[in-house]
Structure 1
Amino acid sequence: MSDTAPQNKDIDPHAQAAQIATRVTVIGMILDIALGILKCVGGLLFFSQALFVDGIHSLSDAFSDLIVLAVMKASRRAPDQEHPYGHQRIETFGTMLLGSTLIAVGAALAWDNLERLFGSSDAPLPEWPILVAALLSIVGKEWIFRYTRRAGERIRSELIIANAWHSRTDAFSSVIVLVSTIGAMLGFVWLDALAAVVIAVIVGHVGWNFTWSSVKELVDTGIPAEEIERLKAIARETDGVHNVHELRTRKMGPDILLDVHLVVSPNISVSEGHQIGMHVVDRMRETLDDIAYINFHIDPENDDELEPTSLSLPKRQELNTLLEEKLGIPLPHGKLRLHYLRNKIHLELFLDEPFLSGHHDQLKELKGFLEPQPWFGSLRIWHGEPV
């Protein structure tokens, strides 16, 4: 049995999220292009190789923004026949690429500044306009970082959040430019290189976190153990649930996909078991908003503790034929109810009063025939229609 999250027909959440992501990414891209041109020109005019490289970094951010736009457009499409669970894994893959980019940027910055730290340079000293350009970059990139991160958290997009941190690496590198310029003017040229190495390590660490998180999601790593225990407790506390013997989860972009096996009384109807499952689903959704799909399976006994029911046990048609032969009459639909429990079959027959009175011997003979059968569990004969 399964359940799919209800959708508001008037508002497509995928389209709404894609619209927000597009808007914030385009704003960031425009800012990256403007700052990139400013820093490249300023670095060439005022003798700052660091600012020029920082400008290249900003322009590379604009290129990564284009990747984000393409990925978000693809990942936020509604589910279709070929992708019934949606396209969110495209976003996960995009997040992994961005995280890898952050690692590469961090490694490149670290290597470059280690060379500067242990090397020497006869280049002209940078001039004061470099400080202005670096400050503008720091303020602009910090603003776009906060704006983008808020949008990413709102639409629950790891890709947009990762892109926000990618923007902040540009602010970090601008801080390096600012420190290096001040240090060079004061005579402490080595100070900016040391700070650059430290910040490069931080940038690489952020990239590693995003990359590793994406890799774990792509290999279907479940949600944290404490959240799984919370969901199990909720299921067990639901009226009608005897136990939960299996609960599996996996992430798909911002969404959680969940499979749960619920143990209920073996004597209830299929519809009542389904209703109990729907109550579990409703309570789980109240606990975790990120759950997109829940597949629940209703079990009459705990499969983990008992031997699985054998497939060689007689099926309904075989039993129906056997009973009709022994009783000498055809059984109308619905007169026989079967329970497959503990590798035995428990039968319930619903017969009217005239039949019970006129076929007492046949019923006694039937019971005598069933008892020695290895698959037989019990036989109950009810007077009247099944309820």
Structure 2
Amino acid sequence: MEQPGQPASFPHEHLETEKHAATRVTIIGMVLDAVLGVIKVAAGAVFHSQALLVDGIHSFTDVASDWVVLAVMRLSRKAPDADHPYGHQRIETLGTLLLGSLLIAVGAALAWENLLRVLAGTELPAPGWPVLVAAAISVLGKEWIFRYTRRVGKRIRSDLLIANAWHSRTDAFSSVVVLLSTVGAMLGLTWLDGIAAVFIAGIIIHIGWKFSWDSVKELIDTGLSEEEVLALRRIAMETDGVRNVHELRSRRMGQDILLDVHLVVRPEISVSEGHQIGMRVVDGMRQVLDNILDINFHIDAENDEKAQHTTEPSLPSREDLQHLLAEALGELPAQSRIRLHYLKNRIHLEILLDVNHPGSELTTERVRGLLADYTWFGSVRVWVAAP
């Protein structure tokens, strides 16, 4: 007996709202990044701060990432269609991977250039005080856009938007490094400026690697953590009617979770009761993890992980059995019903007869004798309804 679970409804009505919110915060961040990038690159070049110059380039990478976010959010928030029944959230994952790769490339180039300058011992003039002003403006502006973007990202459950927010936070942190290194350079430790530039480039590489690796894990369908899987299994096992749980599989799509689970129930229950047990498991799991998008459950009468697969001869179908019984016993009464239980590669029959069924030859012993020589036969019971 098997029964697929009911998939969650996609929040189509929220897609346009989410897309609008993401577009708004991203455009605001992009304008801020562009302005800060111009200020820092100009101040770094004019007032002799390599660290601020690298920090300005970091801001321009934010502008590029904002363009990626705008394009990807527009595509990933499209409603599911016939070709993409689970939606388009994986486009967001791909966008996050591209963003991370961009950060790694930019960070590596900046780190290499400034590391060579530090190792060569190139003497640079001390930075001017406007570098401090530019760095302070950057810290305040990037911290504000970080908090704003992260809040919107959490509200619409967008990994890409949250990743972009943390990119802004690294820009704010790198500007703090510029402040400290500039103060040191102005006090005579001019080499601090080059070290700070390498350090900031390392920050860019680190955050890019994190985005890229997390995206790769999602694209190859990495499952939930062991703790989360155990919590979901415990919920299923504590549900009345569930005897065992196996093949609990999970994968992520953006911040959404997709689950497949096999539930072992008593073999004698009806299909509808098995489905009802499965729906109670679904409700319980959704209370543990509220970002589960879809749960597909399979109802088993036995643990088919351990049971042998049917070989030869193959188990007969309902139609085959009815034909076999009809040939030996004649047509069954119109009011009769047959229940079949396929367990451990055998068939167990229940024949339910109306109290006024014609003929007395249809007994448990008669049917058992008829089927006893078949290797697939397990047991039979003939029930007669009480008057």
- Normalising by structure 1, report the TM-score: 0.91
One-letter amino acid of the structure 2 residue matched with residue 158 of structure 1: D
One-letter amino acid of the structure 2 residue matched with residue 342 of structure 1: K
User: Which residue among 343, 346, 357 is the counterpart of 1:344?
Assistant: 346
Report 1 or 2 for greater relative contact order, CA contacts < 8 Å, sequence distance ≥ 6: 2
Equivalent in the alignment of 2:7: 4
Q: Which moved more, 1:89-98 or 1:151-160?
A: 151-160
* Deviation, structure 1 residue 15: 2.6
Quick check: 1:77–1:87 contact (8 Å CA) kept in 2?
Answer: yes
Q: 2 CA distance for matches of 1:182 and 1:204?
A: 25
* Cα separation, partners in 2 of 1:7 and 1:110, compared to 1, 3 Å: closer
Equivalent in the alignment of 2:29: 28
Quick check: 2:34–2:63 contact (8 Å CA) kept in 1?
Answer: yes
* Cα separation, partners in 2 of 1:373 and 1:75, compared to 1, 3 Å: same
One-letter amino acid of the structure 2 residue matched with residue 42 of structure 1: A
Alpha-carbon displacement from aligned partner over 1:64-92 (angstroms, at most 9, x marks no partner): 20110110111112211111111111111
Quick check: 1:80–1:86 contact (8 Å CA) kept in 2?
Answer: yes
Equivalent in the alignment of 2:330: 328
* Cα separation, partners in 2 of 1:364 and 1:136, compared to 1, 3 Å: closer
Q: 2 CA distance for matches of 1:317 and 1:111?
A: 75
Q: 2 CA distance for matches of 1:380 and 1:131?
A: 90
Quick check: 2:50–2:197 contact (8 Å CA) kept in 1?
Answer: no
Equivalent in the alignment of 1:84: 85
Quick check: 2:108–2:205 contact (8 Å CA) kept in 1?
Answer: yes
Q: 2 CA distance for matches of 1:334 and 1:269?
A: 17
Quick check: 1:54–1:170 contact (8 Å CA) kept in 2?
Answer: yes
Q: Give me the CA root mean square deviation.
A: 2.3
Alpha-carbon displacement from aligned partner over 1:313-363 (angstroms, at most 9, x marks no partner): 01111111111111222553762111111111111112234436x232787
Quick check: 1:327–1:362 contact (8 Å CA) kept in 2?
Answer: no
- Normalising by structure 2, report the TM-score: 0.91
Q: 2 CA distance for matches of 1:46 and 1:192?
A: 12
User: Any unmatched runs of 5+ in structure 1?
Assistant: none
Q: 1 CA distance for matches of 2:17 and 2:216?
A: 27
Q: 2 CA distance for matches of 1:336 and 1:45?
A: 90
Alpha-carbon displacement from aligned partner over 1:224-270 (angstroms, at most 9, x marks no partner): 01110110110010001011022000001110000000000000000
User: Any unmatched runs of 5+ in structure 2?
Assistant: none
Q: Secondary structure at the match of 1:2?
A: coil
* Deviation, structure 1 residue 40: 3.2
Equivalent in the alignment of 1:104: 105
* Deviation, structure 1 residue 309: 4.2
Alpha-carbon displacement from aligned partner over 1:266-303 (angstroms, at most 9, x marks no partner): 00000000000000000000010110000000000111
Q: 2 CA distance for matches of 1:278 and 1:126?
A: 66
* Cα separation, partners in 2 of 1:300 and 1:110, compared to 1, 3 Å: same
Percent sequence identity is 60
Quick check: 1:102–1:166 contact (8 Å CA) kept in 2?
Answer: no
Q: Secondary structure at the match of 1:194?
A: helix
Number of residue pairs matched? Answer: 382
Q: Secondary structure at the match of 2:357?
A: helix
* Deviation, structure 1 residue 127: 2.1
Quick check: 2:126–2:190 contact (8 Å CA) kept in 1?
Answer: no
